[in-house]
Amino acid sequence: MPGGDRKPSIPVRRDGADAVATFLDKARSLPATAGAARGRGRLLFCMDATASREPTWDRAARIQGEMFVAADALGGLDVRLAFYRGFDDFKASKWTSDGVELARLMARVACLAGNTQIGRVFAFAAEETRRRKLDALVFVGDCFEEQLDAVAALAGQLGLLGVPAFLFQEGNDALATRAFAQFATLTNGRHCRFDAASPDELRRLLGAVAAYAAGGERAMADYVELHRVTALRLTDARR
C-alpha cells in the first residue's frame, strides 16, 4: 500500500521569536478549491472523541468558531461535524453555517474510551464528496491505533477525489506523527502538531483551513500572514 514504510520527517518545535513557521510556504502550494469559485466553502470537521481527548474537548468546542469568522468575508462556510468514540461509534451532524450551533453540537458529545477510527473518517469523507464536493477535511486527534497500510489506502482514495486532509495532532505521539504525515501526503493535505495547552494555536489553524476552503490557497496565505502563525511548524510528509 502507498506510503506504508516511508518515514517522514518529524516537525520541530522552537520557542518564542526563534519559532520557524513553514505554514505559509506550504499553503501556497495547495490547489484551488471549488469554494473559491462559488464563494462558499464546504468543510468536514472530524474529531477523535475517545477518552484521551476529554480534557481538551470543551476547549476545542469553544474555539472552533474561528473557522466561521475566517470564512465569512470570503462568502461563508458550511461545516459538518463528525466524530468517533467508544466501540464502533461514529456519528455526523447535519450541515451548519453557524459557529454557535456547531459549538452546541460539540457540547452534547461525551468522550468515551475506544480505539481510533481514522479509516472510517476517510471513507466517510470520500462518500460525502461523491455526493457534493468537499473543499477540505479537518481532523483533530492525538493517536493512531489502526493498520497503517489499510488506512493509507483510504487516504489515497480521498486524495484521488481532490480533498486535502488537514490533520492537526494534539501532543507528540510518535506513531500518530508518522501516520498523520503520510495521510497528509496522500491527500495533498498538511499535518501539524499543536500544543493542547495553547488553544490559540488550534484556533488559528482552524481559521487558516476555513479561509482555504472558502477562498483557496491565496486566502489561506493571507490569513496566515495576517495572524502571524509563528508558534507552529506545518509539516509535509513529502519533505
Ordered per-residue pLDDT tens for the chain, 239 residues: 444 433 333 333 333 222 224 444 454 455 555 544 456 789 999 999 999 998 888 878 777 777 777 777 677 899 999 999 999 999 999 999 888 888 888 888 999 999 999 999 999 999 999 999 999 999 999 999 999 999 999 999 999 999 999 999 998 999 999 999 999 999 999 998 887 777 777 888 888 888 888 888 888 878 877 776 433 444 333 33
Query: To which residue does cell 452534547 refer?
Result: 108
Q: How far, in Å, CA of 124 to CA of 187, rounded?
A: 14
Structure confidence at residue 24 (pLDDT): 40
Residue 29 cell numbers, joined: 502550494
Amino acid present at 149: D
Q: Model-level pTM?
A: 0.79
Structure confidence at residue 57 (pLDDT): 84
Q: In what order do the strands lie in the sheet with 89-92?
A: 89-92, 77-85, 41-48, 136-141, 165-170, 190-194, 234-235
What is the per-residue burial (b if ≥16 Cβ within 10 Å, else e) of 22-38?
Answer: bbbebbeebeebbbbee
Structure confidence at residue 39 (pLDDT): 60
Query: To which residue does cell 495547495 refer?
Result: 30
